Structure 1
Amino acid sequence: MVWQCCGYRLGLLDEASDKERKMRRRWRVDGGVELQASFAMRIEEVAFSFNGGKDSTVLLHLLRAGYFLHQVEQSDSNGDLTDCDFTFPIRTIYFESSSAFPEINSFTYETASTCNSILKHLVVDENYFSLSSYGVLLDIIRLDFKSGLEALLKANPIRAIFLGVRIGDPTAVGQEQFSPSSSGWPPFMRVNPILDWSYRDVWAFLLTCKVRYCSLYDQGYTSIGSIHDTVPNALLCIKNSDSSKEKFRAAYMLPDGRLERAGRAKKYSTPVCGRFLAVGNGLKSVDMNENGILTASVIAVGDELLFGTIEDQLGPSLCRKLCSIGWAVSQIAVVRNDIDSVADEVERQKSANDLVFIYGGVGPLHSDVTVSGVAKAFGVRMAPDEEFEEYLRHLISDKCTGDRNEMAQLPEGITELLHHEKLPVPLLYAKGLHKLDYEAVVYFFSNFVIDLINFAIKCLNVIILTATNVTELDGQWDCLIELTSSSGLLALAEPFVSKRLRTTQSDVELINEETGKHCIRMGMEWSILHMLKVLVKLLLGLVCVETAQPLSKLCLEFPDLYIGCYRESRTGPLVISFEGKDQSRVEAAAEAHCKKFHPGAFYEIN
């Protein structure tokens, strides 16, 4: 029986493997203490919201087991489960929706029928009726969640509602195991016994206890919402199938639980390719999306950078690497070792760029807040990652104490892991599958307790690197590029080509030449007064119109190129740079520029 299996997991039997003992600890805490504490309320004051999903199914059977154990305790039973009456009196509510999968509706009604064999219909009105039998009451509500709750609580003295919510669910943000309802909602206590359960915990329970679950999970669905935003998880697709119709593995075969919601429509802001504008000397802006250019921003985290204690070498190196694969960098920012500072900057950049790279502030120290800041930017909580935790425990078991390794906390529901043979990261396996080889990401975890263990975190379109010098960055980057060939982690585009021209003349000489030509055309004399005006502008650090005019015209002629200039010193010559994807366009722009000046005024540099 189900409650016998639950009883085994809750500690009624002695023999268990190490893995089973770990699961039993979790289920004793979440499925026993919380449940039995909740039964201190009168049964009529407690309800359970069931939606037909895997999480609700787990909670249903935990509630049944918890109530049974409560009965045993109250009756001083000798533990003989067969002599106990397992009537389940907790009111169960189901919000029926026209957008629900038919399989979900069918499973819900069949589950109610299985738990208690006879269903009696009690019609209250067209939006609310009940199915009851042997003290079990299944309230089917055909209203929206808020209106349905208002009607339910108005008709019944309910003080607490059990919910099958887990960290990583959009509705779980800010919730604890006991959380009062939000402002503006009917007053009740939300009870979330399985809030800290992982995807693997859920399936371990369902498979071990051999309870029925919705058939959609055997068809590749890993997280079920409405018919409008839910598809089978592509990561479970069976390739090379003889049938033309796509086939999928069962949900419990998903190796990485963080990819549970890959079949759900994204609720996060979709990065817009080409949001960054290419500007040529401030005159013409060109949407990079027209040219298919992907953009990235770079964020460095560290008070030591802002104090000038150390020099940032990773930012320029990362920019060069991105340009080498055809990506344009829209911005480099430096922020403090502060969760809010990191979160604010990530929030700004993640929706304006295709990718955001962030480094610094990753580790076990008090100032290492980058991962937490990214989690806050996406509105998710930090939660233990069991696969990574087990790997760390195996690797540094002598340095780990307690049941949890705090270093294994990752942003819940949005973090992906990826194995690379050059990196000593955990290999992920699943029943019936070989080594994980689909898209996830490398988690670089250098300089924690062990030396040179490299990982990286990918949270949607934010990649967290932990390199502390250029050599480490080179190694991490090489792994990311190699992984791209199999996982599509980074889109590889045509690299940028560049050409740089240095002048053999000073600013003043260039201005004299260009302004002199202008004066001759206008029939004006070259005057000492005009020369003094030019010198004043130079001393003030201003770029005069006469100097900017040739480059400004060139930017209009070549809007697909980045055309800029910089000085190697305040009094030294200028360097004009041309960046673009088309070599012929870069050459044409450089040639057009040189023609505006006398021969030899510019020469090419590497």
Structure 2
Amino acid sequence: MEIHKAITDSDDRRLKTKYNNAVYVIQRALTLYNIEEVAFSFNGGKDSTVLLHLLRAGYYLHMKERMRCDEELTYNQCKFPIRTIYFESTSAFPEINSFTYETATKYNLQLDIISQDFKSGLEGLLKTSPIRAIFLGVRIGDPTAVGQELFSPSSPGWPAFMRVNPILDWSYRDVWAFLLNSKVPYCSLYDQGYTSIGSVYDTVPNELLCDNNPPGDKVEYRPAYMLSDGRSERAGRVKKSAQRLANNVSQSNGVSNTESQQTCIPTASVLGVGDEILFGTVEDLVGPSLCKKLHSIGWAVTQFNVLRSDIDSVAESVERQKSTNEMVFIYGGIGPLHSDATLAGIAKAFGVRLAPDEEFEEYLTNIVGYQCTGDRNEMAQLPEGITELLHHEKLQVPLMKCQNVVILMATNLPELDKEWDCLIELASSNGLLLLPKPFSSKYLTTLLSDVEVAQPLSALRIEFPDLSIGCHRKSRHGQLVITLKGKDEAKIDLATEGLFKKFKPGAFSVEK
């Protein structure tokens, strides 16, 4: 069978692994269900084209094993019998329709053409056929992929069938490696710069493939397989809303958006993960230093917790903190060991699973070598669909961001300093972090007792609720240090004058 031979003869070790895993899933499904009970949803796109040829190869190997045949099968013996469903739409590209029908003819597909929406069409089809399982070309990163496994029952409210997802863990580059290595035809739109094809109303060529120097005035695009970053696969999907909030300058009580950003106090939570810290075996310097750094750029830290190296503990804390703070910063527990629960905990907090990330795996491979990472590197399993890699030329491995949760790799202060500097540079260039007006501070020292200053300070807090007023002593019998912090320096001065008036002159000194 030409597909099986093309992939097994390839030097691409990763592709072989992906191929073997996908074919195993297909053979497993063909063992669990009779051939009349399975179907294949084909839409003419690149993913379903890959799945078509994987099914052809999987069925071929299934029949060879079933017939215990060591020689090549005849055409009739391996003729593709799986029922193929095509949901025809008036909004589909003509090229998609043409390719679908040409493919059906070329490979003798039993094509069921349905003109209804996917759900209604399936309901009608399953009422009149014995279909129990449907092969789908769903991949991680697809909007419908969240929560799915290789074998996943249909969602509540849908007709009952088993979703079989052989290429669930395939990346954009895996798809193109398969298509190019196996030399099978694919829709011509992909050679015109389209990287993810929906309807004619929401799909345009990917601007990242635009040829900046075409002959004449004609705009040209490179083929889809030349897209270097698979994360931008859906960049050619047009947003439904043309209005961009970022371009609007909203007014609130006569204050511009820029001014309000400068005077606001964004909040962050800092979470450390590590049993060694809780046992007292390791002194945690990263967390306190991170709190200082956040404060230095005008952020208020509402929580600083150290968590057990336990998935549930991380998940519960992240879920709580991400909904009550603008950002959550988490460190520790990143790695391949059994105690490294951070990424799994974050995935659970967002209700997604850990899934292979090809780009992150490449970074790790460059550091420790392929022989150490293997085919299923646990450190390259990231929360699916929500993880953004934060690249910086000074970082050997990019940091990660899952929506409003930033994952730091630092285990010591020099590493934290380096990562923090990179974060600030990224914040300045692409708005990763809001950089508001920093806090102003005033430090007062006094020999007065706690009892003497307690009531006046309580009254001051009521009078100036937007100021932070803290107290501490450098030693048990040393001077009391009173700290006033806020975004409005004039209010700090007013609060200081108000406190001075309640005591005799000279009761307080202002620290420089």
TM-score by length of 2: 0.80
Q: Aligned residue for 1:421?
A: 393
Q: Aligned residue for 2:334?
A: 362
In structure 2, do the counterparts of structure 1 residues 410 and 502 end up closer, same or farther at CA, with 3 Å as the change threshold?
Answer: same
Q: Aligned residue for 1:35?
A: 26
Match of 1:603 among 479, 497, 509: 509
> Contact 1:296/1:330 (CA < 8 Å) preserved in 2?
yes
Partner Cα separation in structure 2 for residue 176 and residue 69 of structure 1: 23
Match of 2:469 among 548, 564, 570: 564
Partner Cα separation in structure 1 for residue 37 and residue 173 of structure 2: 32
**Could you report, residue by residue, the CA deviation over 1:129-169 in whole angstroms, capped at 9, with x for unpaired residues?**
xxxx9662223141452x43332211101121101122344
Q: Aligned residue for 2:406?
A: 463
- Residue 368 of structure 1, CA deviation: 1.2
Match of 2:186 among 212, 235, 242: 212
Corresponding position: 1:590 with 2:500: no
In structure 2, do the counterparts of structure 1 residues 577 and 154 end up closer, same or farther at CA, with 3 Å as the change threshold?
Answer: same
Q: Aligned residue for 1:161?
A: 134
Partner Cα separation in structure 2 for residue 389 and residue 91 of structure 1: 37
> Contact 2:272/2:331 (CA < 8 Å) preserved in 1?
yes
Match of 2:436 among 493, 498, 504: 493
Match of 1:112 among 97, 100, 110: 100
Partner Cα separation in structure 2 for residue 357 and residue 245 of structure 1: 47
Corresponding position: 1:191 with 2:181: no
TM-score by length of 1: 0.69
Partner Cα separation in structure 2 for residue 351 and residue 244 of structure 1: 50
Secondary structure in structure 2 of the residue aligned to 1:505: coil
In structure 1, what residue type is equivalent to 2:187?
Answer: Y
**Could you report, residue by residue, the CA deviation over 1:80-106 in whole angstroms, capped at 9, with x for unpaired residues?**
98x6698644222244568xx532xx3
In structure 2, what residue type is equivalent to 1:109?
Answer: N
In structure 2, do the counterparts of structure 1 residues 550 and 28 end up closer, same or farther at CA, with 3 Å as the change threshold?
Answer: closer
Match of 1:382 among 324, 332, 354: 354
In structure 2, what residue type is equivalent to 1:47?
Answer: A
**Could you report, residue by residue, the CA deviation over 1:539-586 in whole angstroms, capped at 9, with x for unpaired residues?**
xxxx55x6522332233xxx4xx2312232677654332323344443
Q: CA RMSD in A?
A: 4.0
In structure 2, do the counterparts of structure 1 residues 202 and 170 end up closer, same or farther at CA, with 3 Å as the change threshold?
Answer: same
The alignment of Structure 1 onto Structure 2 pairs a total of residues equal to 488
- Residue 322 of structure 1, CA deviation: 1.7
Partner Cα separation in structure 2 for residue 340 and residue 324 of structure 1: 32
Secondary structure in structure 2 of the residue aligned to 1:102: coil
Corresponding position: 1:336 with 2:308: yes
Q: Which moved more, 1:586-595 or 1:237-246?
A: 237-246
Partner Cα separation in structure 1 for residue 98 and residue 356 of structure 2: 35
> Contact 2:311/2:345 (CA < 8 Å) preserved in 1?
yes
Q: Aligned residue for 2:15?
A: 23
Q: Aligned residue for 1:278?
A: none
Secondary structure in structure 2 of the residue aligned to 1:403: coil
**Could you report, residue by residue, the CA deviation over 1:263-314 in whole angstroms, capped at 9, with x for unpaired residues?**
7779xxxxxxxxxxxxxxxxxxxxx879444332211112333344444322
For residues 47-62 of structure 1, what are the structure 2 equivalents within 5 Å? Answer: 47-62=39-54
Partner Cα separation in structure 2 for residue 604 and residue 246 of structure 1: 66
Q: Aligned residue for 2:148?
A: 175
Seq. identity, %: 56
For residues 49-448 of structure 1, what are the structure 2 equivalents within 5 Å? Answer: 49-67=41-59, 79=72, 88-95=80-87, 102-103=92-93, 106-117=94-105, 136-143=110-117, 145=119, 147-182=120-155, 185-208=158-181, 209-213=183-187, 215=189, 218-219=192-193, 221-222=195-196, 224=198, 251-260=224-233, 291-397=263-369, 400=372, 402-425=374-397, 442=398
- Residue 358 of structure 1, CA deviation: 0.2
Corresponding position: 1:8 with 2:5: yes
Partner Cα separation in structure 1 for residue 506 and residue 272 of structure 2: 41
Secondary structure in structure 2 of the residue aligned to 1:172: coil
Match of 1:477 among 393, 399, 420: 420
Secondary structure in structure 2 of the residue aligned to 1:598: coil
- Residue 201 of structure 1, CA deviation: 0.5
**Could you report, residue by residue, the CA deviation over 1:458-512 in whole angstroms, capped at 9, with x for unpaired residues?**
22321111222222211221232334454443343332221222234223444xx
> Contact 2:194/2:223 (CA < 8 Å) preserved in 1?
yes
In structure 1, what residue type is equivalent to 2:331?
Answer: Y
Match of 1:581 among 478, 481, 487: 487
Secondary structure in structure 2 of the residue aligned to 1:22: helix
Partner Cα separation in structure 2 for residue 328 and residue 236 of structure 1: 42
Which of the two has higher C-alpha Rg?
Answer: 1
> Contact 2:38/2:83 (CA < 8 Å) preserved in 1?
yes
> Contact 1:95/1:140 (CA < 8 Å) preserved in 2?
yes
- Residue 370 of structure 1, CA deviation: 0.7
Partner Cα separation in structure 1 for residue 501 and residue 207 of structure 2: 56
Secondary structure in structure 1 of the residue aligned to 2:464: helix
Unaligned runs of 5+ in 2: 241-259
**Could you report, residue by residue, the CA deviation over 1:215-263 in whole angstroms, capped at 9, with x for unpaired residues?**
37844654758967x7877766788999999997655444333454567
Secondary structure in structure 1 of the residue aligned to 2:406: strand
In structure 1, what residue type is equivalent to 2:166?
Answer: P
> Contact 1:9/1:24 (CA < 8 Å) preserved in 2?
no
**Could you report, residue by residue, the CA deviation over 1:154-191 in whole angstroms, capped at 9, with x for unpaired residues?**
11011211011223445434433223335554332221
Q: Aligned residue for 1:44?
A: 36
> Contact 2:263/2:437 (CA < 8 Å) preserved in 1?
no
Partner Cα separation in structure 2 for residue 352 and residue 251 of structure 1: 41
In structure 2, do the counterparts of structure 1 residues 364 and 45 end up closer, same or farther at CA, with 3 Å as the change threshold?
Answer: closer
